Structure 1
Amino acid sequence: MSNQPGSSTAAEPDQPDTTDPVDEALPAIGEAAHPAGGVANRDGEVRPAAAPGAAVLALLAVGWLAAMLWSTREAIHSAAAGLTAISLSAFALPGVISAALVAGAAVALAVGELLARRLGDRATARFVLAVGTGLLVGLGTAVAINLTYADNATTNTIAGTSAAAAIIGAAIAGARTAAPVGAIVTATLGTLLFVVAFSRARDPLFALFGADGSQASLVDAAKWVSRTESLLAGLLAGLLAFGYLTWARRRAVRRDPATPVSRWPVYLAAGAGPGLLLLLTEVIIRVGGRTLLDLAGALSEADAVAQTSLGTSRIDNGIWMLFVGALTTLILFGRTLNPARLDVDDEPETAED
């Protein structure tokens, strides 16, 4: 006899329950989940989602910032003339600013996670703490630049702009939901490392895309190389962001099986985050580093064209990474959703002859 709709059948006593507690805790489509990425405890109170590995991310981000500062210093000190130093400083500025932005966010995130229990749900206190942490990171970066770089017209510009970038990055980390910020920091660090590694493949790719030595072929090949780099970097950003959020979700579920799953906007924001940070980096460069860019562009017509071309390329790369990263995380998130289950008890009964 078939069961009536809404009735339940008791489980057989001789059949052990082999359901994974983590998978059992994950809600089906349409169940409530906090849209901002928060998780709920058993009492129904929404609390900020944790960012696992925040301390490791902070160490990696600070190490990357130190490496960028050192490489920029070596390039400037190796310049034979002051004009060359200005040009090299302008070329190196985007790398330093992006590193400072990520370092400020990562360190503020780690400090916020360390004091998460004391801060509780006080969003204002968390934001003030994050900005204060970014101020310390920015001040340390500016002091290091002024003490180690050559005393020229570019030093103060690099120091001040880097400090501002660290504070802005820390302010982003002051958001109440830490897990998406951790995903963005992880994905951005991964893409920055990828861009450096990808530079070794530029020459073979130029030949692959038909660069034969003529100016037209070089320009056309450069566009395709840049697009390839942006697509791969966006794909990597989406993979890293999704992987981090999945890791954070499973850790939260193991601590509290009643934890709901974050909705798709959280994954969308995490995947688009690295591209947004690159675009934010460009804004900081054009506002805080305007003096340095103008000095470099005034050296010659070729330098002016190069600065304009590089600025346009950075904006294009940021836009490509934004959309590719966001699309990647959405696709991966969609593949984790279970199809709607058909309730066999709701099927209409067939009449028996």
Structure 2
Amino acid sequence: MDYYGFWQMLLEEIKAAPTNAQRRIVTFNDPRMYAGALSQWKSLKTKTPGLRQVQVSTLIRAFFVPAAGAGKLMDRYADSLCIEEDHRIQVHSVAPDKSGSAMMPWGVKSIHAPQAWSKSTGVHVKIGVIDTGVDFRHPDLKHSLASGVNLLNRGMMPLDDNGHGTHIAGTLAAAGGTRGMMGVAPRALIYPVKAFDHSGSAYVSDIVLGIDWCVQNKIDIINMSFGMKNRSKALHDVVIKAYRAGIAIIASSGNDGKRGGDYPARYPETIAVGALDRRQRVAAFSNRGPYIDVYGPGEGIPSCWLREGYKEMSGTSMATSHVTGAAALLLALRPGLSPRELKLLLRRTASPVRLRKGQRRASLGGGAADALRLLRAGARARRSSGSSSSAKAAAAAKA
């Protein structure tokens, strides 16, 4: 393959086309061809400013290119390339309900997180929050934040210009003590990954780059409170890579109030989350179905907001941050737990949800997340595993 010609063709197409924000995801069928194209791109981009618009995911061996240049690439290199649309993806929240105040949120109490803090507070667990950024000045979050990354502007901190990411971070790990708000895992460390703009919108390629960053930085859990209707091969590929790297991805199912749900929650490698109301029923807006692994509190959830404030919000986004927080409590006790084992424990320890008239339990999927039951089951599984290992070692010594 003529890698120089490949990039020159792309560059000419970009220059000739009108400027727009649309992009395409380009992957090579042969890893060696990707390596050749990557090497040529690195040598050319320093002298060719137009090629700096191209971004790269080393995890799934993909280039993200302006849509203007993708058409001719497919015509000439159809046997070598896979090109897919870089779809838009949205955060999963309803419009902000109302302003709130610092308190112990009902959702944190509902999953029995305070009772679990004598066993774990999530210390040293690294949570990647792919979202709109975070308010670094919020007093309840200042001890819970790492620097993270801004994928929209690599030279800036991942500052929140929407509010959604700050709300998620508060439920996860706020540590405001008696004067502020407490999140589910107050000693966990949040790594904000800003992939969404001020309107709560991102491209699939931004999410791919965010997961790529989390894998490279050895994050323990990724919170993904967003989704889309479209399937994406690139997104599924990077989710599988994270899963195989031992990173659990916890994803919101969406707010359409229907059976079924959005991607990436529908991928089997993620932990899919639906939302509950205060009465422990599946919230009217929440998506549901057998693929839901667990439900979390998601209606009228107070949490941190911009300008050091607080706000109530509803959505499967909010439910997901409760479940991610509970998972962080467990991973602090069981750091070697695989994503599959975490999913099984979350499902096994969930409490039954209350049914609305005409609902069948089997049609809803999992039950309500319970942090205390999760930790107890995790501790029992560790003791059982330890006893089994000791017995095997003793038998081997006798042999």
Q: Which has the larger radius of gyration?
A: 1
TM-score of the aligned structures, taking structure 2 as reference length: 0.26
Structure with more of its chain in strand, by fraction: 2
TM-score of the aligned structures, taking structure 1 as reference length: 0.28
Higher relative contact order (CA closer than 8 Å, sequence separation 6+): 1
Structure with more of its chain in helix, by fraction: 1
